[in-house]
Amino acid sequence: MRIVQFQTNFSVGELDPLIRARTDLQQYQNALEEATNVIIQPQGGFKRRDGLEFVYDFGDAFTDFKIIPFEFSVNDSYLLVFVNQRIYVFKAGVLQTNINASGNNYITATDITTAMLDEINYTQAVDTLILCHEDLQTKRLVRNGDTSWTLENLPLTNLPQYAYAFDTHQPNFTITPSASTGNITITASSVTTDTGTAQAGGAETITLKSSSSYTSDDQPNGMFITLTSGTGSGQTRHVEDYVASTKVLTVYPAWDTAPDNTTGYKVEAFAPSAVGEYAQVVSTFGRARYVEFVSATEMKAVVEVNFFDTSAVVAGDWESEHGYEDVWSNTRGWPKSAAFHESRLYFGGSKSRPNTVWGSGVINYFDFNPGTGLDDEAVEATINTNQLNTIVNLFSGNDFRIFTTGGEFVVLQTSNEPITPSTFFVRPQTRLGTKAGIPIEDLNGASVFIQRQGKSINAFQFGDTTASYQIQNISALSSHLLKNPVDMAARRAASTDESDRLFVVNGTDGSMAVYSILVGQNVIAPSRFTTDGEFIAIGVEIADVYVIVKRTLPQDNTVKYMLEKFDPDITLDSAISRTNITPGSPANSINMDHLRDIGHGAGKTVSIVRDGIVEPDQVVPQNAATITFASPATSSFQVGLDYTVTARTMPAEPVLSSGSVQGFKKRIVQVDAIVNETQNMTINGKLISFRNFGEDVLDSSVQPFTGIKTSHGMLGYSGTGQITISQSVPLALTVLGLEYRLSVGN
C-alpha cells in the first residue's frame, strides 16, 4: 500500500519517548522524535541553531560561574560574569579592563566565593544591582561608568527584629499607657535606679557597688544596665538575674568587652535598645511594641492588643518581653532573595528565618523600620503552613509573587490597592515548589520556574476564568530533556521570524533544553542543544544570549572555560569570524589560540567556511595556533567547531480507516522537502545536491536554495518509517515541511 503523507509543521518540537504510543494525540503529527541543534520557528519549520561566537577564554582557573545581565540604559548594558572573588564586566561582548584604575580586569569581590555562586540571587534598579545569599552580607554593585564600579555592603537601617532567645521578666516598677489604642506613650514610675562604679565584672556579669540600691533578688530584673565609663563603656544590656547577697548582676547578651572595677554604670527602666521589645499586660489585657526611646522612664509605643483602659499597671501585673535581635547578621544569616515591587525593596527568607518576607518603607528602600504600622512603613509576614516553605525567590508581577520549596504564594492586591502593613497577607496558590538557585523568568506575564526536583518547567500565572493563580506545565510533553537543570534564561522575540526562547542548562550532561514559545498561539516547541563540550551557565543581555562552555582539549584532557555568544550569522561553535573584509586586503589566516592545547600537543580540529566555501578541517597547531586558509578570504570567513544537526520525524502513523499500521513494515519511497535559504542537507543519510554542474561552480559558494528538494530511490524497510534530516557540512539549513510517500506492507 502506498500512502502520501505531509508534515506541514514541527511546532511541537521533540516529543518525550514516553508518549511514543500516543498516536491519538494531535501533537503527535506535528512532533519530532529528535530535534538536536535545531530551533523551531514560529511559522512551524525548523532550522540549524545559531552558532557560538568566541568571546573570552577564562582558562582553567575557575570552574564555577554565574552570569548576570545589567541594563543601565538604552545605550549601556553589560554582562557580569561572577567567579570566585571576582566579577568580570563585558560590554557589547568586550571585556572592560583596568577596572577602577586598579590595573585589574575585574571587580574585586572578596566576599563572594565559589560556594555561593549556585544560589546567589539578585535584583536591579537603575544603576544598582543588589546581590543576596544567606551567607553573604547583602551587597550592592553600583555602576559609575564602563570601568568604574563600586561593590559594597547594602546600607540597611532599622533591621527587623526577632526574639531568637525569647525571654520575659516582670520588672519591679509601674507603667502607665497614655491611651488604650493606637500610638501611645508608656511612662514608668516607682522605679528603683542604681548608679555607681562596679566592684568587678565577667563575660556576662557585673558586680554592682557594695552599697547598691537593690536589696532583693528580683528588683532590677528586666531593666537595662548601661556602662557609662571605664572599661566597656557604652554598652547596654538587659538585666537577666540579680543576687542581692553578692551584688552580682547577670546580663543578656554577653558583654562585647567585660567590665571591671573601673567601670561606671547606671541601671534604669528603659534604654534605646528597648525599641522593638514588648510590654504585655498579664492581669487583664493589652500589648504594645516600643518604637521610640524618649527617656529612661518614657517610651513611645504602638498598641497591638488594646489596653483595658489607661490605668497604671503595677509591678507583677505586666511583663517585659525581650531577647530580640537583628534578624540579619553574620550570626543569623542574610537575606536569600530580593525584588523591587511598587516602591519597596523586599527580601525573602534568610538562614535563620527561611519562610519570612520583609518589605522596606515606601521609597525608603533600605529602611525596614515597622514604625507604628502606617501605610508607608515597613511590612513583614511569615509563611506558616503544614510544610516547610523555604523562600527561594521573589517576583514582581501584577501581584507580588513568592516562590518557595513547598509551593507558590502571592500577596493579592485587589482593586489595584497598594500593599500596606494592614493588607500584607501572603496567600497560598499552588503546591509545586521551586528549585533554588535558578532565576524566575517572565514570559508575557507568566512567571516561569523550575520545579523543586528539576523535573518540570512551569508557568505561574493568574487565570481570568478561574480568578486564581494556576500552573501550566511547559515541559509536559518533553520532560526527558530536563536533566538536573542548573540555570535558565529567557530571550524575548525581536522579530516576526522568531519566537520567545527559554534556555535551560542541564547539569547532568551539559546539554541545553531550548523551548520556542508563542504564548498567543499556545505553541511550545522544545529542542536539544549540544556542543563539543558542556554548557555551564547562561545569561541574556537584552537580545544577546551568552553561555559559559566547558571545553576539553584533546591532549591530557586539558579543560578550558569560555564565554561565547549565540550568533545567527555563524554556523560553528567557539568560532572566530569576520565579515565585510576590505576589498584588496584578503585574510590569509586566523589565530585560534583559545582552542590550542598549550604545552601538551595539538589542539582542537576546527571547520572552516571561507567566502561561503567549506574548506577541509584543520587541527589547531600547538605552537602558533594559526589556521591558514587554502585560499585567501576576500569577503568573509568563520573558523570553529562543527556540531551535529539531527531532526528525526516521529514513526509514521497515517490516519487510515483500517486502523493502526504500527506492526507493519514501512519504507520511505520518496521525500519532498520544502526548504528555505538552505545550502546543505541529507535525508536518511543521502546527501541532497544544492549545486548544478558547470564550470562556474568551481571555487564558488553554494547558493542558498528556496523551494522543494526531492530525494527518492531510498531502499530498505523498517518498523517505523521515519525521516532523518541532518547535515554533512556547517552551512545554512531551514526545513518548512515534508511530503513523503510511504510504502506499508506485511
Strands 236-243 and 224-229: antiparallel
For the purposes of burial, counting CB atoms within 10 Å of the CB of 61, is it exposed (0-12), middle (13-18) or buried (19 or more)?
exposed
Alpha-carbon span 458 to 476, nearest angstrom = 9
DSSP H or E stretch at residue 374: none
Considering the domain architecture, whether residues 184 and 237 belong to the same structural domain is answered as yes
Same domain? For 289 and 226 the reply is yes
* pLDDT of amino acid 598: 67
Q: Is residue 65 part of a domain?
A: no
- One domain, residues 476 and 408: yes
Three-state secondary structure call for residue 697? helix
Q: Who contacts 599 (Cβ-Cβ below 8 Å, separation ≥6)?
A: 622
Q: Return the C-alpha cell found at 85.
A: 572573588
236 & 282 share domain:
yes
Look at residue 555 and give its three-state secondary structure.
Answer: coil
Kindly tell me if the per-residue pLDDT of 373 is higher than 90.
Answer: no
Give the residue numbers spanning the domain of 45: 2-49+645-745
Q: What is the C-alpha to C-alpha distance for residues 309 and 319, in angstroms, rounded to an integer?
A: 17
Same domain? 547 vs 576: no
Beta strands in 101-247 (DSSP E): 107-108, 121-125, 128-133, 136-145, 148-153, 161-162, 167-169, 174-177, 183-189, 194-197, 200-201, 205-207, 224-229, 236-243
Contact 121, 338 (CB under 8 A): yes
What's the average model confidence in pLDDT over 723-727? 96
Q: Which residues of 268-281 are buried (b: 16+ CB within 10 A; e: fewer)?
A: bbbbebbbbbbbeb
Specify if 360 maps to a domain: yes
pLDDT tens digits, one per residue of 241-268 = 999 999 999 998 899 999 999 999 999 9
Cα separation of 565 and 490, whole Å?
Answer: 14
Each residue's pLDDT tens digit, 40-78: 998 899 999 999 999 999 999 999 999 999 998 878 899
Position 325 scores a pLDDT of 86
Phi-psi region of 46 (alpha: psi -120 to 50; beta: other; left: phi over 0): beta
Where residue 587 falls among pLDDT bands split at 50, 70, 90?
A: very high
- Among 273, 297, 326, the domain boundary falls at 326
DSSP state of 419: P
Give SS3 for 101. Answer: helix
Is there a domain that residue 110 lies in?
no
Q: What percent of the chain has pLDDT over 70?
A: 97
pLDDT value for 720: 83
Report if residue 559 sits inside a domain.
Answer: no
638 has pLDDT over 90 = yes
**pLDDT, position 135:** 97
The pTM of this model reads 0.89
Distance CA 242, CA 125 (A): 51
The total of structural domains in the chain comes to 4
345-362 mean pLDDT: 96
Same domain, yes or no: 240 and 213: yes
Domain end position, chosen among 626, 641, 656: 641
In a domain, 107, yes or no: no
Same domain assignment for residues 418 and 534? yes
Q: Where are the alpha helices (DSSP H) in 465-612?
A: none
Same domain as 359, residue 453? yes
**Contacting residues for 107 by C-beta, under 8 A, at least 6 apart:** 86, 87, 88, 89, 99, 100, 141, 149, 151
d(CA 156, CA 376): 17
Q: Grid coordinates representing 161?
A: 527584629
Q: Hey, how many other C-beta atoms are within 10 angstroms of the C-beta on 529?
A: 25
The model's pLDDT over 407-457, given as tens digits with 9 standing for 90+, comes to 999 998 877 788 999 899 999 999 999 999 999 999 888 999 999 999 999
One-letter-per-residue 3-state SS of 420-475: CCCCCCCEEEECCCECCCCCCEEECCEEEEEECCCCCEEEEEEECCCCEEEEEECC
Q: How many CA atoms lie within 13 A of 385 on its CB side?
A: 19
C-alpha cell at 35: 530535534
pLDDT at position 415: 72
The neighbouring-strand residues paired with 718 are 666
Per-residue cell: 519: 504564548
Residue 70: inside a domain: no
Residue 180 lies in a domain: yes
Residues 42 and 55 in one domain: no
- Domain harbouring 365, CATH code: 2.140.10.20
Is residue 601 located within the same domain as residue 490? no
CA distance 368 to 355: 17
Residue-wise pLDDT for 5-23, tens only, equals: 888 899 999 999 999 888 8
Is there a single domain that holds both residue 655 and residue 613? no
What pLDDT score was predicted for residue 176? 97
By residue count, the chain amounts to 746
pLDDT one-digit tens code per residue, 469-519: 999 999 999 999 999 999 999 999 877 778 899 999 999 999 999 999 987
For 157-167, what is the mean pLDDT?
89
| CA 339 to chain CA mean position, Å | 12
Q: Is the residue at 563 inside a domain?
A: no
Stronger pLDDT, 494 or 389, i.e. the higher one = 389
In this predicted structure, the answer to whether residue 2 has a pLDDT above a threshold of 80 is no
Q: Clarify whether residues 456 and 538 are in a common domain.
A: yes
Domain end: 552, 587, 603, which one? 552
Minimal CA–CA distance to 486: which of 461, 450, 516?
A: 450
Q: Are strands 31-36 and 13-14 parallel, antiparallel or unpaired?
A: parallel
Please name the helix (run of DSSP H) or strand (run of DSSP E) that holds residue 114, with its range, or none.
helix 114-117
Give pLDDT tens digits for 77-118: 999 999 999 999 999 999 999 999 999 999 999 999 999 999
Mean pLDDT of the chain: 92
